[in-house]
Structure 1
């Protein structure tokens, strides 16, 4: 992430939290309610999302996520953090591999784990 202002303009345009530690699995579900985006990951790390939320609140801009159509191929944590804050992440084109294509599911169904994956 680099310094700068985040871009507000998500579906709701309103942050659901004021700091990362307030983010819960329930907050994530609320932020993703009705979202048609597809993920190819089995789960996401709650501590990683909390860190991304804090960084966005401090004015950092996340690197673009990568998407192939409506499928996130890289950047699930950044996508969710942005959605929690009512922001739209920047998107670069990505390529959905045939292996990952078999793992597609709606992002609203992604498992949220309390295990810290160490994403920075």
Structure 2
């Protein structure tokens, strides 16, 4: 399996309070970003808010650096204090990916940078 390890930065808007997960990932030859979803998952026995980016083969001959920003629908709660950026191959999506075996990067809401509008 190809590796799609994302690099992430979490920001929080000072004016709106909205958290945004910014991600950069290097996609190997033959792959492209196909969709981005978000929702609650359980990882290592804890609830985390996951942003899941799916990649699919596209026949490209070039390695591509992909950047994207995702405004989060969920802020921190007593149960949820971590955001996980999960990368999965569309062809392997038989349901919810196993967060123990995926290419993911986690960041705590407390570690977010505050941005000025």
The TM-score normalised by the length of structure 1 is 0.27
More helix by share: 1
Q: Kindly indicate whether structure 1 or structure 2 has the higher relative contact order, using CA contacts under 8 Å at least 6 residues apart.
A: 1
More strand by share: 2
Larger radius of gyration: 2
The TM-score normalised by the length of structure 2 is 0.28
